Amino acid sequence: MIDVPSTSRPILVVSADPSRSQPVAEALRSAGVAVAVEEHGAAAAARLGNGATSLVVLDLSLPELDVPRLCEALGDGHSAPPEPLEIVERRQIAAMLRYTGGNRRKAAQLLGLARSTLLAKIRRFGLEPESALTTAGV
């Protein structure tokens, strides 16, 4: 059983992966807590900005999440080591693909990469959209 203080404002669960967010949300709901679920950091930030939530449960694997900056904002008292370049690169590519609506040619152009290089990085970082995997027969 989850012991959560009662509040009139919902708890915000943020994760791009429903298999991670739904069990958390259901456990909170079964404890009688109002829950809101967001898949993207921007939508979550908008909810946080208007003060509509009382607590945030955050999936630390969100590609756009800047963990060192989050640690700094939370005031953990010590600085975290810099992120590996691969993590930063994955986050930037994911953000650019969202910005361009999935247009890889435009994303490559804005990132200053050859399209073939971007496609290789998308595969390496597992940023293929689910629909592309199913249409490719994977």
Provide DSSP, 66-109: -HHHHHHHHT-SSPPPPPPHHHHHHHHHHHHHHHTTT-HHHHHH
Report the 10 Å Cβ neighbour count for 88: 13
Q: Architecture of domain 63-138 in CATH? A: Orthogonal Bundle (1.10)
Phi and psi at residue 32, to the nearest 5°: 85, 20
Inform me whether the pLDDT recorded for 5 exceeds 90: no
Strands (E), 3-60: 11-14, 35-38, 55-58
Each residue of 79-121: pLDDT tens digit? Answer: 667 788 999 999 999 999 999 999 999 999 999 999 999 999 9
Each residue of 54-72: pLDDT tens digit? Answer: 677 777 777 777 777 777 7
Q: What is the pTM of this model?
A: 0.47
Which pLDDT band, with edges at 50, 70 and 90, does 138 fall under? very low
Domain residue ranges of the chain, discontinuous segments joined by + = 11-62, 63-138
pLDDT, the chain, mean: 78
Which pLDDT band, with edges at 50, 70 and 90, does 135 fall under? very low
- Name the more confident of 10 and 50: 10
Cα separation, 12 vs 57, whole angstroms: 6
Cα separation, 89 vs 95, whole angstroms: 10
